[in-house]
Structure formats: structure tokens, C-alpha cells
Amino acid sequence: MLPQRPLGTTGLHVSALGLGTVKFGRNQGVKYPQHFVLPDDASLRNLLALAKDLGINTLDTAPAYGRSEERLGQLLSHRHDWVIVDKTGETFSEGQSHFDFSPAGLRYSLDNSLRQLRTDYIDVLLLHSDGSDLAIIEQGGLDTLLRFKQEGKVRAIGMSTKTLEGALACLEYADVVMLTYHPEHTIESPALEQCINLHKGAFIKKALASGHLGSDAAKVARENLQFVYQHPGTSCIIVGTLQAEHLRQNVQALTYPANNLA
């Protein structure tokens, strides 16, 4: 069975692998090596059912992922079976990203996400950084998310960061952080160590380098996933795919008993 770890002190438990849903709703302005067609509802319903059967309980989405939130809202029949990680601060339209980290902008984004997802709460809400991590925090972005948490609309807060400095600053105020970490990118490992010290949760993005793994992709993917989850600071690795076989392979990399990853 796919192992789970506690998400810091939030009371949530997240599967070793979480399903990223960029490809559920957006295929423009993305950095994947190959173009893809957005899947139909039946394909997504089957993929979500497979993910659940494999032990995945965590889904990652965002307003910037096109129709991802809307489609999840239509397709998730048992909302409470899932830990939904959502974001705020970035939207995508007319081929480019737009950012608004003002209190009003963040509240509008959250309310719209709740409507799209057809839910009355978000498990984890992250600021979707534009790269200016420290400025967003200093200007009160996390303070606004804390108010949402106090209102009961959000269970845990944090930031999807772009810098080590931002990840460390986020951990001083928030419950969780999302950062980049894999064998070729370990510069942010001090933030994972800080997660251990402060009992905070950590979501790992880009563990598979957005699909840019070279000719022996399956082997590198397995090695990367095992490397990332062996770090005790890692709570959950977010990986997006539309392929059932890739999903099974990724889960297998984290469930093989010899890995001793739980």
C-alpha cells in the first residue's frame, strides 16, 4: 500500500504520491517536453478512480491550471476522500499568467475556487508565487491566508515557493511549504531540514523535472521518486500524469518493500 505521512501538525495525512492536475485543464504555456490534448471526462474519471485504488489521497490544483478546478468539482463524487491542495494569487488567461496577491484578490480567488470545486473548504491553500517569495510574504500574503484559516475555509496554509529564502521564510509563519527538490536540484534541502525541526509539512514539486528525464525516463523517474521520499522532511511528492501506466509505475516506485520508505 502506498505509504502516508502526517502533514506536519495539521492533522492531515497525505499519500507519498499526490496527483498533479495541470494537465486536467491546461495545455498552453506549459513546459512539458511534448504537447498533449486535454482528456475527456471519462478518461479523467478513470484516472481518478485508479489513483484512489492505488492509495493516492492527495490532489494538487490551482486557478492557473485552466479548467482543472472546475473539472475536479464535477468529477469528485466523494470529496472527503481527498486532501485537496489548491493555490491562490495566479490565474492564466490569453496565454499568460496574471498575479494578484492583494487581500481582495486572494479572497476573490479562494471564493471562486470553492465554487469551482463545489466544496466549502480547502484542505491546503498555497500562495502561488511569481518568484518574489519574500516580497509576497512581507506584503501580507500569508497573513491573508491565515484569516481564511481562522474563518474555517482553509485547514492549512503555505506557499508554493521559487527560492530557498522564500521557503525558509514561509516556514516561519505557515503550516506547509511546496518546493522543488530532486537529485539534480538539492539547493532547497535546508528547507526540508527546517520542516523536520519545526514539524511542518512539505510538498515536493518537479521531482521528475517536468518530464525532462532523458532517454531512460522510467529508471530516472523511479530513482528520483525514491531519492525524494527517502528524505524524512518530505510529506508528499506531487506528480502530474494522464497515463495510467505512468501512474502505476510512480506508485510502484514508492511501494516496493525493499525501499523501506514508510
What angle do helix axes 217-229 and 244-253 make, rounded to 10 degrees?
A: 40
The C-alpha atoms of residue 157 and residue 245 are separated, in whole angstroms, by: 32
The C-alpha atoms of residue 89 and residue 105 are separated, in whole angstroms, by: 7
What angle do helix axes 164-173 and 141-150 make, rounded to 10 degrees?
A: 40
- Name 38's Cβ contacts closer than 8 Å, sequence gap at least 6: 23, 24, 25, 26, 27, 66, 67
First to last CA, the chain: 10
Beta bridge partners of 126: 87, 158
The residues carrying an active-site annotation are 65
Tell me the H-state helices in the chain: 22-25, 41-53, 68-75, 103-117, 133-138, 141-150, 164-173, 189-198, 217-229, 244-253
Residue among 60, 71, 67, 59 nearest 27 (CA): 67
The C-alpha atoms of residue 8 and residue 119 are separated, in whole angstroms, by: 24
The C-alpha atoms of residue 63 and residue 72 are separated, in whole angstroms, by: 12
The C-alpha atoms of residue 253 and residue 111 are separated, in whole angstroms, by: 37
